């Protein structure tokens, strides 16, 4: 289990590597947010249920519906329409999801040479875009009607990109060579 390994092994190693005297000063992962866009939900309400079941299978948690905040006539979008799904993972579920992501899912991608370094934002959070939900081993390809992309955002407690990169590498993430 990644959660146990993090507190017993990874945390002390990071404390030494980053020269932090206090173990509470070592960067940690606060939460993982998984988003799925379902723009075609306004035409077919069954899409919402299908996508919700898929996201629940992937994350192990029931997703929250994201609604449009304002109407946009060019996109035929009304305020209150469901346009996406979101799951926020914390604690043990977060660590379990990250372990499956880094060990099983990402290596299964075709031509995977590592995660791009440009995925870090100004707050040292990392976002991974996946083109289809089929890369997760929990999803059965014969039951999928349409491929949908996912966005996984890993929120860290640090504001330094190098510390965040070191944290993710110690947890099993593989980055491209610079």
CB 165 within 8 A of CB 120: yes
Please give the Cα distance from 163 to 178 (Å, whole number): 16
pLDDT in tens, the chain (178 residues): 787 888 888 888 888 888 888 888 888 899 999 998 887 766 677 778 888 888 888 888 999 988 888 888 887 778 887 788 899 999 889 998 888 888 888 887 777 788 888 888 888 899 988 887 767 777 777 777 777 888 999 999 988 888 888 888 888 888 887 6
Predicted confidence at residue 34, as pLDDT, reads 92
The three-point CA angle 145-148-154 to 5° equals 145
Domain 2-170 has CATH 3.30.930.10: no
CB distance 62 to 127 below 8 Å: no
pLDDT computed for residue 32 by the predictor: 93
């Amino acid at each position: 289990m990644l959660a146990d390994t993090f507190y017993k092994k990874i945390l002390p190693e990071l404390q030494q590597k980053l020269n932090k005297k206090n173990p509470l000063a070592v960067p940690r992962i606060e939460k993982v947010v998984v988003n799925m866009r379902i723009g075609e939900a306004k035409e077919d309400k069954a899409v919402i249920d299908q996508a919700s079941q898929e996201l629940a299978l992937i994350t192990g948690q029931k997703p929250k519906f994201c609604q449009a905040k304002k109407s946009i006539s060019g996109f035929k979008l009304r305020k209150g329409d469901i346009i996406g799904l979101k799951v926020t993972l914390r604690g043990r579920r977060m660590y379990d999801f990250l372990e499956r992501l880094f060990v099983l899912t990402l290596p299964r991608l075709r031509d995977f040479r590592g995660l791009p370094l440009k995925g870090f934002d100004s707050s040292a959070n990392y976002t991974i875009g996946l083109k289809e939900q089929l890369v997760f081993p929990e999803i059965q390809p014969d039951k999928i009607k349409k491929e949908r992309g996912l966005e996984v955002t890993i929120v860290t407690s640090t504001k330094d990109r190098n510390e965040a990169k070191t944290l993710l590498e110690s947890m099993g993430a593989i980055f491209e060579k610079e």
